[in-house]
Structure 1
Amino acid sequence: MDFGHPAAIFVSSFIIGLSGAMMPGPLLAVTIRHASVRGFSAAPLLVLGHAILEAALVCLLLFGLMEWIRGDAAIIAIALLGSAMLLRMAAGMAMEVRTLRFDPAAGGSLERPNDGKGSGGVRPVIDGIVTSASNPYWSLWWATIGLGYLMLSRGQGWRGVLAFFIGHILSDAAWYLFVGGAVSAGRGWFTDRIYRGVVGACAVFLVFFALTFGYFGVSRLVRIL
């Protein structure tokens, strides 16, 4: 493949990004949780939050302001802070499980009292940012594969960078919109018990990732001391 052409950069960026997006992670658990509550509309908002974070990161990388993410100190800090944020989100899900209810009179919407739906699309966008930033493997990907690919794309000017970014974001969108659509389509089969089980499972997954990230950060810290 001729990486000297923006189209080739776009296609390869999409394929590489899709292979990463399909790996289970905190964003997948949060997408399932939000889509089960709000329906399909939550998925693009989560992707938007993820895209905002990555657009900011790409800009910082281009201006050479994020080289520090290659260092152990930054990776450890991201892992430990990310672990704490995910534990907080998991605790919030666990605390709300008993109040969750299925309301067929509202068109099959799945809510709990005072769910915060009045905040519009802000909550999924913020969760998309937070869950992405909390993942140290996301930072490592951008510090290695992402940075190298960005530098390769930069050789083709702004068209190459744009092709890289669009291909990467579309791969995330393709996967998470698919997940959001699948979860939303299955909401008609939900009962209170099933819904609470889904949210509880998402909370468990977030705890698993939080502990994994915490172990990653602590073990890396011990290694350099």
Structure 2
Amino acid sequence: MGLAFIFSTAFLVGLSGALMPGPLLTVTVGESARRGFIAGPLLVAGHGLLEGVLVLALALGLSSFFHHPLTSKVVALIGGFFLIYMAWGMLRDARSGRLEFEAKGTREEVAVTDGVPQVFPSRGLDLVWTGMLVSLSNPYWSLWWATVGLGYITLSLQHGDLGLLSFFSGHILSDLVWYSLVAAVVAGGRRFLTPALYRGIILACGLFLVFLGGSFILWGLRT
């Protein structure tokens, strides 16, 4: 199995995982509607940093920690509550009619009151940290790395550091391509978004995060 094969198969397997609906996809849709295209690459940057640390940890022999049932249980419970917390913020904004935009490098919030936009500054969330935390909140993410990911790491290490680099580059490139595409589509449609439609998108994303968070908590309690 050569380096090109490792890279290409890692890209395809990673893409198949990225295409599945999950917390990171939901947050990408919501944040791209708020902040534009840049939300996609920044979220993937945080996601990639976390995965890079995890790949190194697994390569150094820490796989037993990620295989431990208690690890998945704790990740599921904490992650579920974190997703519900994020969902609460999105649902609150959707209900209040507050629209958030990223313009010229600074973020602003626009509250629509009686059809009149009122602009005021907002600190907001750091998208890179959000990408890391949202990824970490998903117990299926840690399970994937403890099984499929660990298998790929073992095979790629037969080619040394170059093999590991080929695997990780193919894997993270699949995330970057897919989530950037999603961000581009969502951001490109912002010009057609009415306040009501925008609130509907945020509301749908928030409700889906509630569903995922609740599912993770139930999964963790039953594991």
Fold-level similarity (TM above 0.5): yes
In the other structure, the counterpart of 2:203 is 200
How far, CA to CA, are the matches of 1:10 and 1:60 in structure 2?
20
Q: 2:126 aligns with which of 123, 126, 132?
A: 123
User: Is 1:82 aligned with 2:79?
Assistant: yes
Asked if the contact 1:11–1:167 (Cα under 8 Å) also holds between the matched residues in 2, the reply is yes
Question: What is the CA-CA distance between 1:125 and the residue it aligns to?
Answer: 0.6
Tell me: CA distance 1:18–1:110, structure 2 relative to 1, closer, same or farther (3 Å): farther
- The share of aligned pairs that are identical, in percent, is 44
The one-letter code sitting in structure 1 at the alignment partner of 2:53 is A
Question: What is the CA-CA distance between 1:115 and the residue it aligns to?
Answer: 3.4
How far, CA to CA, are the matches of 2:108 and 2:186 in structure 1?
12
Asked if the contact 1:38–1:110 (Cα under 8 Å) also holds between the matched residues in 2, the reply is no
In the other structure, the counterpart of 1:101 is 99
In the other structure, the counterpart of 2:26 is 29
Two-structure CA RMSD over aligned residues (Å):
1.9
User: Is 1:214 aligned with 2:212?
Assistant: no
- For structure 2, the 5+ residue unaligned runs are 111-119
Judging by fraction of residues, say which structure has more strand: 2
User: Is 1:18 aligned with 2:15?
Assistant: yes
TM-score normalised by the chain length of structure 1 = 0.88
Question: What is the CA-CA distance between 1:67 and the residue it aligns to?
Answer: 2.1
* SS of aligned partner of 1:156: helix
In the other structure, the counterpart of 2:114 is none
How far, CA to CA, are the matches of 2:121 and 2:76 in structure 1?
32
User: Is 1:56 aligned with 2:63?
Assistant: no
How far, CA to CA, are the matches of 1:156 and 1:49 in structure 2?
27
Question: What is the CA-CA distance between 1:28 and the residue it aligns to?
Answer: 0.5
Tell me: CA distance 1:110–1:186, structure 2 relative to 1, closer, same or farther (3 Å): farther
The one-letter code sitting in structure 2 at the alignment partner of 1:210 is G
The one-letter code sitting in structure 1 at the alignment partner of 2:142 is S
How far, CA to CA, are the matches of 2:121 and 2:80 in structure 1?
27
Judging by fraction of residues, say which structure has more helix: 1
The one-letter code sitting in structure 2 at the alignment partner of 1:101 is L
User: Is 1:42 aligned with 2:39?
Assistant: yes
Tell me: CA distance 1:192–1:110, structure 2 relative to 1, closer, same or farther (3 Å): farther
The one-letter code sitting in structure 1 at the alignment partner of 2:165 is L
In the other structure, the counterpart of 1:132 is 135
- For structure 1, the 5+ residue unaligned runs are 221-225
Aligned length: 210
Question: What is the CA-CA distance between 1:81 and the residue it aligns to?
Answer: 0.5
In the other structure, the counterpart of 2:144 is 141
Asked if the contact 1:37–1:111 (Cα under 8 Å) also holds between the matched residues in 2, the reply is no
Asked if the contact 2:93–2:99 (Cα under 8 Å) also holds between the matched residues in 1, the reply is no
TM-score normalised by the chain length of structure 2 = 0.89
Deviations 1:10-67 (A, max 9, x none): 0000000000000000001100111001100111000000000000101111111242
